[in-house]
Every structure is written in C-alpha cells, then in structure tokens.
Structure 1
Amino acid sequence: MKTAEAAKGQWAMIFEHYGLPPITGKHHFRGKCPLCDSIGKFRIDDRDGAGTWICTCGYGTGLDLVTITQGKPFNEVCREIDELIGNTFRREKVPEASDASKLRKKVLNNFAKMAPLRGTSGADYLNSRGIFKLPAEAVRLNPKQRHNGRVYQSIYSLATDDKGELCYLHQTLLDGAKKADIGASAKRQKSLQEDNYLDHARQLRSVCSRSPAPWHCRRHRNGPICAPDL
C-alpha cells in the first residue's frame, strides 16, 4: 500500500515521532508553527485522516509537513514512515527490455536509415537473378555490412508472422553485384522475438512477398517461414 494510504488515521503517532505538534482539529496550536514560528496560527485538522494542516504560511498533508520540517527527500520520508507504521509496500520495478526487444529496436532503427533497393548493388544483384520488379516494402540495402573484418553490402529482409509482428531478419551479403563468396554465411537469419513467442508463431511472411521475387518456404523449428531465395 502506498505510504499516504497506509498512514491514514496514524498521523498522531507519526507527528509525535518527529516531534511535531499534535492534531488540534478546529483549534489552533498554542505553540509555534513548525514552519514559520508564528504563534496561534497553526493547526492540524487531520481531514480525512491525511494529517492535513493549515497556517498563515501555507497548508498541506501530513506527508508534506514531515518532508518540509525534516529536510529530507520525499522518498526517504516515505520509507521512514513505512517502517514506523509497518507498511510493507514495495514499489514495482519497471521491467527491463528483453534482449530480443533491444535487437528489434536496433534493427528497425538501422533499417529506417537504409535506402530502397532501386539504383543499388542490391538491385543489380536481383536483376542478375532475373528479378526486375523490385520489392517495395520490408527489403532494403545496407551499404556497409561488416563481416569477419571485411565490409560488404547486405540485403535486409524483414519477416513477420501472420499477425504482422516482426520475427526475423534475413540478410544476404553482397560483394558488389554478386553474392559474397563466403559460403553459407552469405545468407544469415536472426531471430527478433523471444523463443516463447516464436513457439506460437504459425506463419511467417515478408510484406514484400507480393512481388514476383523467388521465395521458398520451408519448415523451421518454430514453424513455417517464408524467406527470399536470394
């Protein structure tokens, strides 16, 4: 429970712990205001059990009064009051982004900076494969792709599932207008989702599959996927 809620009805004890004036209701405290030292102007009416107070110098809740008079950070005051009244409230931690989520963000950020295929070595490569109508979506060229100490070009293809969720990045490394002569590693596929999500992915596709580019479908351990036969 949050400190302000847990402290309701317990401000008499809390104020006493911090050496502050008692609850006076509609009557003014006869001593000095703990904030401005004026006499006979300060009272704590504890409206709705929130430790509310009022004076010619200001007004606020019990938490406000303790925070101001103790000169401590609000979070520290809350922790002290929680311990005093036995409140076991624990603030929920904001979950950290998963590795797959970070990779998706990185891939999408990089993809947004890449040029479409037209007029690039990627287009020349596809033309050499007999593909003249270039994919309009989800396929772009990375002009500088480092691999084993060398710089190549890379055709980036984003594959999604039947819900449109991004699941894989398929890369084809190029050396000019030809596929890089580095064996099987010229084609690479990276998972962009957590394993528990991919286990339920039923059908992956690329939005560029509407083009006449040669695609081949195959079984994958996480379900059927479609990838460009580049």
Structure 2
Amino acid sequence: MQREPIWERARGRWHGILAAVGVPAKALRNRHGPCPMCGGKDRFRFDDKAGSGSWICSQCGAGNGVQFVQHFLRTDFRGAALEIEKHMDAAPVQATRQGQRADDGKTREAMASLWQRAKPISLDDAAGRYLQRRLKLETFPGTLRQVPDERYADAGQRATWHPAMIARVDPSDDARAAGERAALHRTYLTAAGHKADLPSPRKMMGAMPTGAAVRLMPHGDVLGIAEGIETAFSASQLFGVPVWAALTADLLQAWEPPASVSTVMIFGDHDASFTGQAAAFGLGRRLKAKGLTVAIEIPVRAGTDWNDFLIHRWERAA
C-alpha cells in the first residue's frame, strides 16, 4: 500500500507540529499579526483550513503546513519533512473549529490537573533517581515535578502508564504579560530512573508559548540557555552560571531572555547535522543585535552535549 503524503498524515496536527518547531503560539491563532517568517507587522494569518496548516502573508504569499515549516526553518522540502515526522506523533489532532474553544479548555484543564497532582521531586522517586544519576543533583527546582503514573499513548496504540518528570515551560515575560500561559513537558521514565523505552519518551502538553524556557534556577544579569534540561544543569555546574532549558534547538533559537539580563551564555549541542550549532549562533546573532553581551559554548566532541561532557569528566576522574 502506498503511504499517504506527509501533508495528509499531518492533517489536523499542525498546531502541535508548528509549535514544536518553534513557531510562537501567538502566530497560530487565526488572527492578523506579525509574520513569523518575514517579520512584517499585521500581514500574516494562520487559518489552518480543513486542518491543512494553511496560512497567508501579504509578503511571503500563501501555502500549507509543509510550506510553513520550509519558510520558517529556511529549509527545503526534505528538511521540512524530516522535522514534521519528528514531531507528528506527539502532536494532538486539533478539534473542528466549532469545538476548538472547548478542546483548548479541556487541554488547559488537563494540564492544570497534571501539574496539581504532580509532586515535588525527591531522591526516592523515579525523576529524582534520573536526575541524580545524570547530574548528581540532590535538590530540585519547583519548575520540575514528578508523577508515578502518567499516561502515554501514540496514535492508534494502546495507552500505557509510566513514571514521568513534568517540567513547566514558561513564556517570556512579554508573552506572559500578553496573556500567554505555560505549557508542560513530560519525560517518561522507568521506576529505576532511566529514560523509558518508548517511541517518544519526551512529549509536550499544550501549545508552546512564545520565547519559552523551563526556568530551572534564579538569575541576575547573567543567564545561560541550553537545549535539554540535563544539558542546562550540566552547563550550570561546569561554568558556574544559572542556566535555563529551551528543550529543542528550534525553541532555543526563538528564546527571549528577561529584560533584566544583560549577558547571555548559550550552551549549544555539538550535532553532526550542525542543528545545535546553527541554533546557538542564530540566537546569539539576534541577541547581539539587541545590544546584549553574548558568549557561545559548544562541546569539542561531535555528537555530544554538555551533559555528555560532564559525565565523561566524572568517568575520567573515577
């Protein structure tokens, strides 16, 4: 049987896919506003007709969800297709327009319920064991919590239940002032504190807010940003600065620091594909243009991040 084209398989999932690649939540509301591709003011609208991811911009033209990803990431069809495939299973199918408001309300209720039942992390639970093993942490921030039994389900598959670390993903200060809300990020684990053997052991819940990050520690005028939570903690230990986690390379590039920050340290991954490096330097270039002092740190070894570097240092010292 011939496989459906990617734009058909992604139908109805574009809100989640586009949010996962870094498109700001405010650009996905079917209202005229700034274009996330060309930056023009009040010339763009994402109408997602029939779940196709359709959009229109008076400067960029119009297109479907695949073309949106191509323009936004400045990549070709193959590059866009690879990104879409990466995020498709984790992206929920959107409700019809008539049911969208109710569906959004249900998602917010589910997120509030999950965050409320999640408990602080300790060394006696799966999340604590996971972070202790990877980072030797013994105290944990309030933006990370844990549950012993979070539901996991991929499309068409039977649901299973696993321990999970729950991270609160906060919008930038400006986005919060404009009414955007936090999302949640789930890392599925085993009871022993290892990453669960699942197709997608990390999943988002809710639309990704604009300029978002997991705020792992307090900061002064110097703040670091990394991709993963473990990478952020590792960079903080290695470089002695507070570091937040943007979760993905795309979201790192779209991150917005608080107004009180004057110096940003960007801790990029050393990807063989150059994805992590490109995101780090893209963010650095944008923040430098805004007048911030920027430093970028990339591990020397290809295919590693700062958590890999930290663990390797421990192993050599043992």
* Pairwise TM-score range, normalised by the shorter structure: 0.3 to 0.5
What TM-score, normalized to structure 1? 0.34
> Which has more strand, going by share of residues?
1
> Which has more helix, going by share of residues?
2
What TM-score, normalized to structure 2? 0.25
